[in-house]
Chains A and B, each alone.
Chain A
Amino acid sequence: MNAPAKLPRWAELGLLPLVNLAAALLLSGVIVKVLGESPWAALKLLASGSLGSEENIGYTLYYATNFMFTGLAVAVAYHAGLFNIGGEGQAYVGGLGVGLVALWLGGRAPFLVVLPVAILGGAVFGAAWAFIPAWLQARRGSHIVITTIMFNFIGSALMTYLLVNVLIKPGQQSPETREFGATAFMPAASDLLAKAGIDFSPSPLNLAFVVALGAGALVWVLVWRTRWGYALRVAGQNQAAAVYAGISPPRIIVQSMLLSGALAGCLALNELMGSQHRILIDFPGGAGFVGIAVALMGRNHPAGIFLSAVLFGALAQGGSQLSFDMPKINRDMVVVIQGLVILFCGALENVMRAPLAAVFARLAGRREAEG
């Protein structure tokens, strides 16, 4: 009797997120106002900063690419009933796989050889980093939320150790590797489009965006169109039913986490091969955590994840423009705005649902009364 209020599907998927987003922006506007800036101008800056020019769109989609990888990683685990908080660590260690391949083959093999090997490298390393928490959950019942958080720290320590002591380019301060060979650079979107005769301003947007879209399609097919995905969803939604159906939940836990880690590990295709061209400290920059919000908001569906990744990309890019042009709004303020979006669209999602459902019920009632 106390089930959550029902909404029409279009309202559930389209209207509700928009209402939540609007509420988050409204509250942000109040804060901006308190800080002494104009909310309206800030909103315009946010919009133009993220979508106002080709370059800004490029940056937005570049950030979105990171979020798509980590969002998909969270979603795959979610469908198996697991909360993978370890996207950050898996992306970081996955970057080691991508980076090692790029350092090894960059300049020696053509890009078309480097790319698949690098994808494999990122996937294998990312998956390996997810494997241990998965195994501990499956066989020992250690809670995966805890273990994946711990593995973020361990991954960070491992990567810092490797960058400071092993992989660092000799004779420099910064714990970074040498630059990859040129054939390990992801082609930039501007270059690719130029070949097609389209003029697009340079930005870090690169081919990894397309890889991320491909990964989204792959996740969709795997989860919703294969028997493996079916078993995954059964185990995720109802363990008892999975056992009843002869599906082994521990096996699904390990398999889904491997895929999840592999997806997170591919973030480095965008960040390292696409933009930084070297392995550097802390390159995921929190994208693993943003991925949780992205998946939550995107309803763990690849299409939703694409849209919410673009939204978060726009917030990251527009937010940096905002702090660039409005000195009173510093980067912490931008984090607050992003936090509000996450709060309203994720944690407080049901707050807006009830009033919205009431409106729909009233409308429905009126229609019934008239009809």
Chain B
Amino acid sequence: MLDEGGAAVPAPPALELRNIDKRFGAVHANRAVSFAAARGSIHGLIGENGAGKSTLMNIVYGFHRADDGEILVDGRRVDIGSPQDAIAAGIGMVHQHFMLVENFTVLENVVLGVEGGALLRGGLDRARGELEKLARDYGLEVPLDTVVAELPVGLQQRVEILKALYRRAEILILDEPTAVLTPQEAEQLFRMLRLLRDQGKTVVLVTHKLREIMAVTDRVTVMRQGAVVGEVATGTTSPRELAEKMVGRAVLLRVEKGPARPGETLLSVRDLEVRDRFDVARVRGVSFELRAGEIVGVAGVSGNGQSELLEALAGIRMPSRGGIILGGRDLVREQLDPRRRRALGLAHVPEDRLRMGVVTGFSAEDNTILGYHDRAAYNRGLLLNRPAIHAECEREMAAHDVRPALPGLRIAAFSGGNQQKLVLAREIDVDPRVLLIGQPTRGVDIGAIEFIHKKLIALRDAGKALLIVSVELEEILGLADRILVMNAGEIVGEVARADATEEKLGLMMAGVKGEGHA
């Protein structure tokens, strides 16, 4: 890449890594990774979960020390042993989970750790002026005196970026920045990143989403199993090519499916209201029906009541009002617990697999019977029927291509995708009539996503009713036959798949009701 000024000697990369090697015990997280990002560019780093992207960036930011290799900033070797060293070298990082003090104001958060003296006042005043300038230069307007907890997520992310810039970062690393954003917020973020690049900053964007890489980066480095497997200019590649590099084989990015043939109504929800433990209504007057042979998707920005809706349907939360009718019985009035709902043919793949769907300390086979441990097939008299459980787990592993196919292995040792396949296998194996699925592919590799999506469509075609809650719009669009959009606990609209576009859904997710309004 030539220097734009046309000078004969190309400028050294803003950030260069040479042969970075890192092990955690037996895990070889980074294998001689070399990476370079040019000054004034947006450089993507993509790979599946566990490919070593985060480890690599944590080394750059001083959270870990590499076993081997070197880091160069503007061609000079730097020794980074802590985040302070990284900041001193002009590197800033925006983490997936924000590192903000929620009950401090924006200003206080920004100066935290660099107050510049024992007395706060002087530092704050100086910071205010500087931040106002930064905000003007980069389009990063944030109300400086608002308490962070009161800001929407997108603005909180801006605070993180401001923090880095205030510390004179020339190189900005963003780790999965769009995970918490609406499509519109993500688009805003990308505009901001382009502005930063145009002003000469270097941005490293770590993500597993192909779409973002294509949308915003100049070059992209692909990692797989701790090693770099390719680096290309974004303009010369395609999502398919990148996906193949990431996974190591050809993958289908969107699963083919035929039209839905909805049958009888299996589940109907009437005027459902769910309150949290602070007695705040999280689901307000939600009604809908779910029919055999269709997939209904629930779209919405995380935290708008989808989780509570799903848990209320599954019996984990008791609604404060309304009805859930399954097979002629009102689950709310009868106060049925999850176990009895399962017996009525209602299966549930929870949103947060690790928090709820599996017991991480258990083996795969012990997780096979979670929720079903008192079924006759798994018991023999007073004792659990271990051989039967083992055989069942082996069968499910084979049927769902779970790797490694070791029933005795701790569930935590499986990749996210394989864990999800096991949970899905467990829930569909009992032949439910209605299947509730939260975030079907959260933290799941591209290869496994394809498998899971195929499986879900097969279930639909077999006459099951599926309700899918996902914050990934792409996923909703790829799977659902009908889409419900939630905002602030209400269903703000229902869109048939054929009429749905990402833009339209995005607006509804942001609270703009009804149709139209392009």
Contacts and interface: CB of A to CB of B under 8 A. Distances in A.
Direct interface between A and B, CB < 8 A:
yes
A241 B382 contact: no
B465 interface: no
B371 A245 contact: yes
B136 interface: no
Nearest to A231: B373
Contact of A244 (B54, B357, B369): B357
A227 B374 contact: yes
17 contacts: A1-B55, A225-B384, A227-B378, A237-B361, A238-B359, A240-B352, A244-B314, A244-B316, A246-B337, A246-B338, A246-B340, A247-B339, A248-B337, A360-B25, A361-B23, A364-B26, A365-B23
Contact of B366 (A230, A246, A247, A364): A230
Interface string B337-364: 1111110000010101001111111100
Given A230-B384, A237-B359, A244-B370, 13 more contacts: A1-B54, A6-B25, A227-B384, A234-B359, A234-B362, A238-B359, A241-B358, A245-B371, A246-B315, A246-B338, A246-B339, A357-B25, A361-B23
Contacts of A234: 359, 362, 370, 373
Contacts of A240: 352, 355-356
A5 interface: yes
Given A244-B371, A246-B338, A233 B362 contact: yes
Contacts of A335: none
Given A5-B25, A241-B358, A226 B384 contact: yes
Interface residues of B, number: 42
A30 interface: no
A243 interface: yes
Interface of A: 1, 3, 5-6, 221, 225-227, 230-231, 233-234, 237-238, 240-241, 243-248, 357, 360-361, 364-365
B408 to A, nearest CB: 12
Contact of A246 (B29, B63, B362, B371): B371
A316 B350 CA distance: 50
A59 to B, nearest CB: 37
A227 B386 CA distance: 11
B379 A227 contact: yes
Contacts of B63: 1
B236 to A, nearest CB: 33
Interface string B37-65: 00000000000000000110010000110
* The 8 residue pairs across chains A and B that have the minimum distance between CB atoms: A246-B339, A245-B371, A246-B338, A240-B356, A244-B356, A6-B25, A230-B373, A238-B359
A5 B211 CA distance: 36
Given A1-B58, A244-B314, A244-B348, A6 B356 contact: no
A230 to B, nearest CB: 5
A287 B87 CA distance: 54
A227 B373 contact: yes
Interface string B264-277: 00000000000000
A233 B361 CA distance: 10
A3 B340 CA distance: 37
B383 interface: yes
B26 A243 contact: no
B189 to A, nearest CB: 25
B24 interface: yes
A105 to B, nearest CB: 30
A364 B314 CA distance: 46
Contacts of B361: 237-238
Contact of B338 (A221, A226, A237, A245): A245
Contacts of A233: 359, 362
Contacts of B379: 227
A33 B369 CA distance: 56
A241 B314 CA distance: 12
Contacts of B373: 227, 230-231, 234, 245
Nearest to B370: A245
Interface in B356-411: 356-362, 366, 369-371, 373-374, 378-379, 382-384, 386
A365 B27 CA distance: 11
B383 A225 contact: yes
A357 B27 CA distance: 12
A240 B359 CA distance: 9
Contacts of B348: 244
A240 B378 CA distance: 22
Nearest to A224: B384
A238 B383 contact: no
Contacts of B342: 246
Nearest to A361: B25
B54 A241 contact: no
A246 B25 CA distance: 38
B412 to A, nearest CB: 9
Contacts of A241: 355-359, 370
A1 B24 contact: yes
Nearest to B382: A226
Given A241-B356, A241-B359, A1 B64 contact: yes
Contacts of A1: 24, 29, 54-55, 58, 63-64
B340 A244 contact: no
A244 B350 contact: yes
A244 B370 CA distance: 9
Nearest to B355: A240
B25 to A, nearest CB: 5
A233 B355 CA distance: 15
A237 B359 CA distance: 7
A226 to B, nearest CB: 6
A226 B383 contact: yes
Nearest to A245: B371
B69 to A, nearest CB: 16
A244 B346 CA distance: 12
A164 to B, nearest CB: 44
A233 B370 CA distance: 11
Contacts of A227: 373-374, 378-379, 384
A25 B320 CA distance: 60
Contacts of A245: 338-339, 370-371, 373
A4 to B, nearest CB: 9
A225 B340 CA distance: 23
Contacts of B29: 1
